[in-house]
Amino acid sequence: MNAVEVNHISKRFLKEKSNVDALKDISFDVKRGELFGLIGPDGAGKTTLFRILTTLMLANSGNASVDGLDVVNDFKEIRKRVGYMPGKFSLYQDLSVQENLSFFATLFNTTIEQNYHLIKDIYIQIERFKDRKAGALSGGMKQKLALSCALIHKPSVLFLDEPTTGVDAVSRKEFWELLRQLQQQEITIVVSTPYMDEAGLCDRVALIQEGRILQIDTPKGIEQKFEQPLWQMASDNMYQLMIDLRGFDEVKSCYPFGQHHHVVFKAGTDVAAIERKLLERNHHQLEARLIAPNIEDCFMELMTTTAHESH
Amino acid sequence: MKQFLFFIRKEFLHVWRDKRTLLILFGMPLIQILIFGFALTNEVKNSHIGILDNAKDDASRAVIQRLEASRYFEVVENISSNATLEPTFRQGKIKMAVVFPVGFQNELLHENKSTIQLIADATDPNVANTLVNYASSIVMDYQNDMRGRLDLPYAINTELRMLYNPQMKGSYSFVPGVMAMVLMLVCAMMTSISIVRERELGTMEVILVSPIVPMRVIVAKMVPYFLLSAVNIASILLLSVFVLDVPIQGSLVLLVSECLLFTVSVLALGLLISSAADSQQTAMLISLMGLFLPTIMLSGFMFPVENMPIPLQVISNIVPSKWFYYIVKNVMIKGLGFDFVWKETLILGAMTVFFLAVSVRNFKTRLE
């Protein structure tokens, strides 16, 4: 039995008198003990999917189960078993760290002492602020407290909706290390994030865009499916370089990526000839290098192909 | 059970830590009672009047003396002629002028009748009316005293007795009204805001994904405000007895239990509002417009219900504070027992059950 099963879930919202499809026929499974990532930009439908799985919303069609329980019929039982951390900081700002934690422990009919081993690694980092009001914590500490509160009743499945959004780079790294440790406690974790660089930290990821799942695989598997050669290019005038490259017929796609542009050429293109053309157009310090694609490249590629298909 | 008690504790912490709101919650009843009791009153006391005495004889002086002696009037202006009468009114120096005709006493003694003119500033019709009535009755008193000497054949005297409120004090009707208003604000507005706040902050999302039964969330939210209201009821009653001198004529137990019944019905109304409102501002607006205004306008506290147009009278029946106001007035001021208010209590009780049932049914166990 899978920890989470999603079958053909669709969800439509009525927004300003027109229907908006938040989720379009989504299906996937999450295996027990897996760290599963939902990767996609804002507005992709991640939060809606989380709310359906945590029984907070009803889907228009399709069915889903968590821990073998149906999200519609067995919602009461699911609410006892799962841990949920919404995207927005959802603890009581006027209660202290300690009070928040003991409130959520009692809410789930347990105590901090009983499950302290679960949250120890996380809580130990915020314990010295235990009398501070939750509203006065920093972003990273808020997330750690929220995670502690979601974990205190030893959930079988943990849903984390964008836990690292708005958190500094160091805290993000720490947070993912914590998730890795939690996996060893036999807790299935479903986590969503808009940051592509976090995808590599999951066991498996689903790339989601405009309510559709583009691909589901291990991070490695997704990268391997990128079959064309990927070039990393730069020159002294990056903006002009992108305009020029996009002007060439041989260029299939070109998008900025950090300090370089990532470029995919159509099959059989002579890259050396392209370089010569660019030099003629007054580009200096031109560099072009073949690189291995990462998840973001795959995502960009998938986005353009699905956009073409749906038009 | 422990879960439930902890929830209540949490609610108390919210209320306790929000010091500003706490101050308002406890300060408001005190201030309202004092304002309504002392400042906003439609009693007429020490009104400034002017005298235009064209007679200047014993009779006119005797009447003026009586006017001055009463606590209703204070003679501030002796007007010399008809020409200065109007300017004095215009300057706002006086509310009423008493004009004696030339030869007042002579007319009275020889023709057996004379006329005193009362001129009142009717920009505030109620005050003008009251002043004229007071003045007339003082003049009547004088006439009766004279009559005692003259012994006229026929006379019908009216003897007035103001039951339940012999001194005609405004605070007698304000205390029940203020009680209804304060409970409306504390219970309905604060409960609805506290539930909507959880939804706005997103904490409701987390609470919903937990084993707690929604009914318990609702009750736990009500408990702190119920206790707060009990404190407010006590402070209002103490203030009205010891500061405003409004005695509790009826049974204290009955009065307090009626107050608590009303508190529960208003708490349920607050819940109902919270299920309709999507932001704290909306909750506040709905409570003010939907509950506070009807309490002031339609409960009979400011304006008598019997004098309203029929449609408004019908609407006033669905305002819980109308029934509460009626009950408190009868129990507290008139000293009536349960036999006289059981019907109203039953209506209020039925409303409470209805509101509770609807709000529990409407409580959303999901986000939509």
CATH number at residue A181: 3.40.50.300
Picking from B123, B150, B177, the residue at the C-terminal end of a domain is: B150
Average pLDDT, whole number, for chain A? 89
| Number of domains into which chain B is organized | 2
Q: Are residues A134 and A261 in the same domain?
A: no
A195 contact B CB<8A: no
Quick one: pLDDT at residue B35?
82
Residue B312 falls inside a structural domain: yes
B179 and B297, same domain (yes or no): yes
Taking contacts as CB-CB distances below 8 angstroms, the residues of chain B near A93 are 201
Record: contact A94-B367, CB cut-off 8 A: no
Residue A232 in any domain: the answer is: yes
Q: For the domain that residue B131 is a member of, what is the CATH number?
A: 3.40.1710.10
pLDDT of residue B43: 64
Query: What is the end-to-end Cα distance of chain A in Å, rounded?
Result: 38
Residues B249 and B294 in one domain: yes
Same structural domain, A62 and A200: yes
A80 CB near a chain B CB, below 8 Å? yes
Do A237 and A117 fall within a single domain? Answer: no
Q: State yes or no: pLDDT of A203 exceeds 90.
A: yes
Q: Residue B261's pLDDT band (boundaries 50, 70, 90)?
A: very high
Residues of chain A positioned with their CB less than 8 A from the CB of B21: none
**Total Cβ atoms within 10 A of residue B199:** 21
Segments forming the whole domain that contains residue B35: 2-40+169-362
Which range among A292-296, B45-49, B157-161, B363-367 shows the weakest confidence by mean pLDDT? B157-161
Indicate whether A201 and A238 sit together in one domain: no
- Pair (A163, A209) in one structural domain: yes
Say whether both B269 and B254 belong to one domain: yes
Tell me, yes or no, whether A112 and A171 share the same domain.
Answer: yes
| pLDDT (tens digit per residue) in A71-122 | 999 999 999 999 999 988 889 999 999 999 999 999 999 999 998 988 888 8
Do B6 and A106 lie within an 8 Å CB cutoff?
A: yes
Q: Per-residue pLDDT averaged across A250-268, rounded?
A: 88
Residue-wise pLDDT for B335-360, tens only, equals: 888 998 999 999 999 999 999 888 88
State the ipTM, two decimals: 0.83
Residues A154 and A282 occupy one common structural domain: no
Task: Give residue-wise pLDDT tens across range A17-40.
Answer: 788 889 999 999 999 999 999 998
Rg, chain B, Cα only: 28
Domain match, A103 and A239 both:
no
* Residue A51: domain span: 4-219
Q: Specify the pLDDT at position B323.
A: 93
User: Pick from B88, B118, B150: which residue ends a domain?
Assistant: B150
Task: Tell me what pLDDT residue B349 has.
Answer: 95
Q: What is the DSSP letter of A11?
A: E
| Confidence tier at A138 by pLDDT (50, 70, 90) | confident
Q: Tell me, yes or no, whether A301 lies in a domain.
A: no
How far away is chain A from the Cα of B29, in angstroms, using its nearest Cα? 26
With respect to residue A297, please indicate whether it lies within any of the assigned structural domains. Answer: no
Higher pLDDT, B222 or B42: B222
The pLDDT tens digits of the residues spanning B93-152 come to: 898 999 999 988 888 888 888 889 999 998 888 788 888 888 888 888 888 887 766 556
Distance from CA of A54 to the nearest CA of B (A): 7
Sheet bearing A35-39, strands edge to edge? A82-85, A157-160, A188-193, A35-39, A204-209, A212-217
Residue B150 pLDDT = 59
B-chain residue closest to A85, CA distance: B206
Residue A311 has pLDDT above 60, yes or no: no
Assess whether A202 and A252 both reside in one domain. Answer: no
A253 and A199 both lie in a single domain? no
Do the bridges between strand A61-66 and strand A4-15 make them parallel or antiparallel, or are there none, so unpaired? antiparallel
8 Å CB contact between A149 and A100: yes
- Is the model's pLDDT at A248 over the cut of 60? yes
Task: Count up the domains in chain A and report the number.
Answer: 2
In-domain check, residue A311: no
Do A267 and A124 lie in a common domain? no
- Is residue B164 included in any domain, yes or no? no
Do A253 and A153 lie in a common domain? no
One domain for residues B257 and B134: no
pLDDT score for A160: 95
Q: How far is A238 from chain B (nearest CA, A)?
A: 43
Distance from CA of B283 to the nearest CA of A (A): 20
The full DSSP string for A80-140 is HHEEEE-SS--S-TTSBHHHHHHHHHHHTT--TTTTHHHHHHHHHHHGGGTTSBGGGS-HH
Chain A and chain B share a number of CB contacts under 8 A equal to 78
A109 vs B3, B201, B367: nearest CB: B3
Residue from B14, B209, B212, B365 to probe the interface with A (highest A Cβ count within 10 Å): B209
CB contact under 8 A, B6 and A103: yes
Q: For A57, which of B2, B210, B367 is closest by C-beta distance? A: B367
CA distance B179 to B244: 14
Tell whether B220 and B91 lie within a shared domain: no
